Amino acid sequence: MKVIAAVLLCLLIIRTAHGQYVSCTNPNQRTGYCVNIPLCVPLNSVLAKSNPTDSEMRFIRESRCLVSDQSDLPFVCCTPDTDYNTTRARPNDEVIHSTLLPDRSICGGDIAYNQITKGNETVLTEFAWMVLLEYRPHDGQQLRTYCAGSLINNRYVVTAAHCVSAATRARKGDVVSVRLGEHNTSAVVDCLNGRCLPEPVQIAVEEIRIHESFGTRLFWNDIALIRLAREVAYSPSIRPVCLPSTVGLQNWQSGQAFTVAGWGRTLTSESSPVKMKLRVTYVEPGLCRRKYASIVVLGDSHLCAEGRSRGDSCDGDSGGPLMAFHEGVWVLGGIVSFGLNCGSRFWPAVYTNVLSYETWITQNIRP
């Protein structure tokens, strides 16, 4: 009877909270509402136990959600759910590689891997899948760029959800186009040692698909797809990046080397006109989660990496790629999501782990 009463009370709270709290998704992918934890009977009753299990406490931590409130009490996604063994995403070996995605003969480029030190400039056609998102400010002035993305086929760009969210659009304006084939934003035509590229290509945005669970939990599901208004013609300066399933990647190993690139803030300026690159190293999930434990709960869908001597992804790099060079091609491993104190040795940068979202990507692209 106590369990039934608790569930009924929780349902009552959810009904009365409908007008006050935002909807959310709990770790079992069930829909509820963000409420102060004392108002959520099932989860609060777990805290009242003298010896809650590890799975129960993990479920509570992973149920935390973000709302606009000044309360010191944590908010959780409240549902009548009492199954505290959280549902895992599909194993990576079940990811089906879509026929809409290019194979390794097309994706990932052919530029030889080289050692990367702090803040090196890229060469002209390096990381040719990188795009700049173009925003139209509300004052009607000329287009501006704030975030980046990665071309994954001839019609789609993957980026961070926070780059195209309602909150960002309210501040920066609507994302109306993407710019491909860019190297130096201060030059009309990019040239190096007498070699010049065609002018960058601008393509309008047809549709933006934000992950349906973005915003229900702080810094989770930070991924979005941008469908372009027309197909992209591949060239030496415009080509797609490979996804992990293209080369059979299923997990990241300790010591894994990555490269992050973008036009974001450097140590000497607010942004870089030239596309820069930086080598970073995989940070073990347990270590990264402990570092961020007082701020946000991280999970398998996050990937952490850090550079040496204040090297890091920074403001303006958001949405851009974290890449691994594997079996002769570049693979999209992560999407620049967030971090603290850019370049700090204590705070690794946090990326959306593409391994966790390949199924979502393939389910949301079309010809």
Extents of the domains making up the chain: 22-78, 130-240+359-363, 244-355
Candidate from 255-259, 292-296, 315-319, 336-340 with smallest mean pLDDT: 315-319
**First CA to last CA across the chain, in angstroms?**
53
Which pLDDT belongs to residue 265? 52
For residue 21, pLDDT beyond 70: no
Could you please state the CATH topology (level 3) that the domain comprising 130-240+359-363 is classified under: Thrombin, subunit H (2.40.10)
Is 90 exceeded by the pLDDT of residue 68?
no
Query: Does 180 or 342 have the greater pLDDT score?
Result: 180
Run of H or E residues at 224:
strand 224-228
Residue 105 has pLDDT above 60, yes or no: yes
Catalytic residues: 162, 222, 318
d(CA 126, CA 147) in angstroms, rounded, equals: 18
Q: Which CATH superfamily is domain 244-355 in?
A: Trypsin-like serine proteases (2.40.10.10)
d(CA 100, CA 361): 11
Amino acid occupying residue 255: G
Fold match between domain 130-240+359-363 and domain 244-355: yes
pLDDT reading at 29 higher than 90:
no
Nearest to 238 by CA among 121, 122, 125: 125
**pLDDT band at residue 28, thresholds of 50, 70 and 90?**
confident
pLDDT, tens digit, 9 for 90 and up, residues 321-366: 999 999 889 999 999 999 886 656 678 999 999 999 999 999 999 9
CATH architecture of the domain with residue range 22-78: 2-Layer Sandwich (3.30)
